Structure 1
Amino acid sequence: MTGQTGAGQAGQVIFTRGGVPESLHRVHVAVVDAGRRQVAACGDADLVTFPRSSSKPVQALPLALAAPELPGDELAIACASHAGTPEHLAVVARLLARSGSTVEDLRCGTHPPFDPAAAADLIRRGEQPTPLHHNCSGKHAGMLLACVLNGWPREGYTEQPHPLQLRIRELHADLGGVAMDDVHVGTDGCSVPALALPLHGMARVFARLAAPAESLAGPLAPALERVFGAMTAHPLLIAGPGRLDTTLMSLVPGLAAKMGAEAFYGMALRETPRGPLGVAFKVQDGGERARPHVALAMLEALGVPVTAELRALAPNVQYNWAGREVGTAEVELPLRWA
């Protein structure tokens, strides 16, 4: 079931300087309700694109299904693109230990912590980052535990032929309401398969996350409910201090939000005038500075109150480092309602 409304005029975020347009970011949006019906779109809802880390709530489902008693903070870190703070690392280490795994078993690679204070602390101590500091280490720790609990080998857990990755691809197709052939496979920055599917499919995934009991039967509904509950109960673990996911979920009741690289974004909204909704959008050129502007514009368009605290995440007036006003950011989202 797709229910696309077809392609139309794309949205855009325009940054100006001195009254002159300086950059323009095209935006594609899909909105799906709890009945899996696409209710709004902007641009091309059929656009096949990579959700990247916005897939993490789905990638954590095999773990949620296999470990129904897993503490919420550990399930949250399995959905996270964390910032490498001490709090993040402690939860990842606890999750990793559950499968009898160590840092050496993580196949995500290594990068410095996203959190500036955590990165500076490593430098002060003269230490190098490890795979534990990688923003995807929680996802990988969760994948290792899912393998152990399902009787799958830990070896090769990042490879597409592995039973875990095959199951994750099936879940994207099932939850997104698309055929398996419509879920294309690449390789993500952390070496697991990156799955591309139509934008309306990912909106449908987030709609199911917003209202699992209304759209699913069997064990998937309670598993998705646990994922939603973990994300919304532990927003600081999903991203980190000052980052968009954490701030939005802290300020908007009933919202589970997850960013993906190259300016993808997914939102599961439980409390809107139209009922539960799933939103997926892609800033086509990967311009991530446009993402918070689109996220706030979508919340407003869907009837979610946007407070001054929320507006501060994406100010219309742009300032330079000396505090001088230098330009504006304008959002245009010509949503087509079904």
Structure 2
Amino acid sequence: MSASHSGEDRHVRLVQALLRSAGLTQSALKCGTHAPYDAETAERLIREGEAPSAARHNCSGKHAGMVLFARASGWPMETYYEPSHPIQQAALDVVAALTDVPAAQVLTATDGCGVVTFGLPLRALALAYARLADPASVADPPIRRALARIGAAMMEHPVLVGGERRRLDTSLMRERPGVLIAKGGAEGVQAIGLLEGAVRERGASGPPDAQSAGDGARRGQGTGGRRRADPSAPLGLALKIEDGTGASRAGGAATCAALEQLGVLDRASMSRLAAFASPPVRDPRGEPSGEVRTVFRLAN
């Protein structure tokens, strides 16, 4: 339910099992469908003549969770995706609470999967992930318990958050197990929660605009003003790549560079994550002609 998964068989089986637990099928999902993000799975479906189903959609877990939430709450299941549905209002309220942005100031639109999506400053998104990494800092008991459960599940099952192949969020959590919580989003969005003690070295200071690659927020900080905090405290990191290319180009390189500057990734980790940290640029023959490199330094 906390995934933008790659549509692999393991993801489909889990979504179907969740729905079966409530006597439902994937026909209850209103996310539509698309070919699996995982290229190998997508090619296999073509060879076998299998049309992608709603369960293959990268947001099917989230939609399954909304359907089950509606059923458990006694709300209509058929309209769970509509902006006026109580589930969408509940989601807005939680987003507002975790980001310190009043609900009336959170921008809303329709996501690619058909439900409400939220527009927030990067700092607010980073703050939410700092709190995901440190649920004890959240005063509201139900939200605190939910964050603890979600964060633990994501770290224990990183392949369910993304996928087995070519997924930055999964690869980061596998590289640094129990240290960070990572989740990629559409259009070049990446958010990371760093658990207490994850940041080993703050990194050199850079020009004021170095934060354009992302924004960090310490737990408990609001959206206004910067202050130096305990370097070992949980930290949130949020990035948005303006051209939307995400982890395959600038997104992966910027994310890995920021984590390296924070001391979360060392040289060996950067080498193992080279497909994201410095992805090659290839010519029409498939020969390497360059690579993506970062030039920013995080500001203090």
2:46 matched to 1:123? yes
2:271 matched to 1:311? no
Distance in 1 (CA, whole Å) between partners of 2:286 and 2:63 is 41
Deviations 1:74-98 (A, max 9, x none): xxxx111111111111101011122
2:13 matched to 1:90? yes
1:325 deviates by 4.0
Distance in 2 (CA, whole Å) between partners of 1:317 and 1:141 is 37
1:319 deviates by 4.5
Distance in 2 (CA, whole Å) between partners of 1:144 and 1:133 is 16
2:199 matched to 1:272? yes
CA contact (8 A) 1:99 1:144 kept: no
1:328 deviates by 3.4
Which structure is higher in strand share?
1
- Hey, what does 1:259 align to over in structure 2? 184
Question: Which of 156, 161, 167 does residue 84 from structure 2 map onto?
Answer: 161
CA contact (8 A) 1:131 1:137 kept: yes
- Hey, what does 1:300 align to over in structure 2? 260
Deviations 1:2-25 (A, max 9, x none): xxxxxxxxxxxxxxxxxxxxxxxx
Where 2:50 maps in the other structure, the secondary structure is: coil
State how 1:190-269 maps to structure 2 within 5 Å.
190-242=113-165, 243-253=167-177, 254-269=179-194
1:329 deviates by 2.2
- Hey, what does 2:241 align to over in structure 1? 283
- Give the percent of matched residue pairs that are identical in Structure 1 and Structure 2: 42
1:132 deviates by 1.2
Give unpaired runs (5+ residues) of structure 2: 201-230
The alpha-carbon distance between structure 1 residues 323 and 284, as it changes in their structure 2 partners (threshold 3 A), is closer
Aligned residues: 260
Larger RCO of the pair (alpha carbons < 8 Å, separation 6+): 1
What is the alpha-carbon root mean square deviation over aligned residues?
A: 1.7
Where 1:194 maps in the other structure, the secondary structure is: strand
CA contact (8 A) 1:101 1:144 kept: no
Where 1:118 maps in the other structure, the secondary structure is: helix
CA contact (8 A) 2:258 2:298 kept: no
Query: TM-score, normalization: structure 1?
Result: 0.73
CA contact (8 A) 2:256 2:265 kept: no
What code does the residue aligned with 1:252 have? R
CA contact (8 A) 2:257 2:277 kept: no
Distance in 2 (CA, whole Å) between partners of 1:265 and 1:228 is 16
CA contact (8 A) 1:199 1:280 kept: yes
- Hey, what does 1:63 align to over in structure 2? none
Where 2:276 maps in the other structure, the secondary structure is: coil
Query: TM-score, normalization: structure 2?
Result: 0.82
The alpha-carbon distance between structure 1 residues 326 and 125, as it changes in their structure 2 partners (threshold 3 A), is closer
